[in-house]
Amino acid sequence: MSDTPPPPPPPPVPPVPPIPPSGAGDPSAPDPSPEVPATDELSLWGRYRALPMWAQVLIPVVIVALLIGLIVLLTSGDSDDTAPADTTVAGESNMDEVLRGIIVIGGIRGGETAATTVVDTTESVTTEPATTAVPETTEPAVAPESTSTTAVSTTTTQSATTTAAPTETTEPVPTTSNPDSPGLPSPADFISQWNDATARTDVPEITQDQISEIVDGPFAGAFLVTLTPDVDDPEAPQVGLIGTMSTSDPSQIAELLLVYVNGPDESASDFYWEAFGVLTLAVDPATTDDQLAELESTLGRADGLPPFPDGTDNVATSNGFTFNLYTGETQEGTPATGIAVT
């Protein structure tokens, strides 16, 4: 065993005092900011909250402005696409052509109007006597003059008699004038009475510049008017009015024809009957509500009609006027309904 004592332990190392942050001794210095985690560790909402206040206000404003601009752009694009469909000028022009075609073919039923009947009757009267007189004058060449004169006179009388029969068969057309009728009003009176009757209805008034008149050909003087309901954004017109002037008196209306052309607008059926009520009062302002209701019932008014079944032909009378409802086709082959007033 050694008598040498152990070495003394090393002296302790004095602790190092912490270094205070700058300004710690200054009472006016701001408190140290809390520790902020790294940006990469923040969520999207945390990143947004970490942005300066002006950025937090600006970002929502920009987003809302972009959304409003997108909505306005889409809305304006839709309105531009639908603008041409809302216009009715093209539809009215097309209906004018349909009505003009109906006039040219002599009505929906294909030529059974008074104007065409007059033309056919005139041709038969002027051609038949000429063909029968020629053989009669050549046969009695050896007979005395008095006998030949008698023969010619007799045959002429017979030919006139035979030509009168076709005249009687062609005149009683359903749309010809009624002998007991007081007569349709003059064009000026008709327009005035029509406009008076449109009160409290969706039927438009008629002005002189709306009327299209045919000035050439065998139907010169006939006029047409396209009727469009007096409402906001009306559909393409399916109703029109045709007037035929008298051949003996070009200043007098001989027939009025209210036309319905088949189309996509189902409400045009109700508008057609509303226009018929105006037409009836324009022809005879003394017509009562009961008389109008009875007239419509006789002609076959019902929900959804027109269009009427093909071949419909109904006749009714009121105060001396004849109303004939019938079906047919336009010049383009479109099913149509007409009510002729004489």
The tens digit of pLDDT for each residue in 269-316 reads: 999 999 999 999 999 999 999 999 999 999 999 999 999 999 999 999
Q: Write down the residue that tokens 């002609």 correspond to.
A: 299
Same domain, 164 and 255: no
Question: Does residue 214 sit in the same domain as residue 332?
Answer: yes
Pick 169 or 199 by higher pLDDT: 199
Give the integer Cα–Cα distance in Å for 280 and 292. 8
164 plus 222 within the same structural domain: no
How far is it, in rounded angstroms, from Cα 221 to Cα 214? 6
318 bridge partner residues: 321
Residue 32 covered by a domain: no
Residue 155 shares a structural domain with residue 272: no
Please state the domain count of the chain. 3
Question: Do residues 133 and 47 share a domain?
Answer: no
Check whether residue 221 and residue 326 sit in a common domain.
yes
Residue 270 lies in a domain: yes
Q: Decide: helix, strand or coil at residue 23.
A: coil
Q: Give the model's pLDDT for residue 342.
A: 95
Higher pLDDT, 6 or 201: 201
In a domain, 6, yes or no: no
Are 98 and 200 contained in the same domain? yes
- Residue range(s) defining the domain that contains residue 193: 90-112+177-341
Contact predicate 107/113, CB 8 Å = yes
> Going along the chain, which residue ranges are E strands?
212-213, 223-227, 239-245, 253-261, 313-318, 321-329, 335-341
* 245 and 309 assigned to the same domain: yes
Task: Please indicate, yes or no, if residue 30 is contained in any of the structural domains.
Answer: no
pLDDT in tens, 112-121: 433 333 333 2
227-270 pLDDT tens trace = 999 999 888 999 999 999 988 888 889 999 999 999 999 999 99
Q: Is the pLDDT of residue 91 over 90?
A: no
Residue 16 included in any domain: no
Judge if 70 and 141 occupy the same domain.
no
C-alpha to C-alpha distances, 165 to 124, 127, 160, 168, 247, nearest whole angstrom: 11, 15, 9, 5, 22
Q: For the residues 209-223, what does the mean pLDDT come to?
A: 85
Judge if 202 and 267 occupy the same domain: yes
Quote the percentage of the chain above a pLDDT of 70. Answer: 62
Q: How far is CA 246 from CA 72, 115, 116, 197, 207, in A?
A: 59, 8, 12, 24, 21
* 77 pLDDT tier (thresholds 50, 70, 90): low
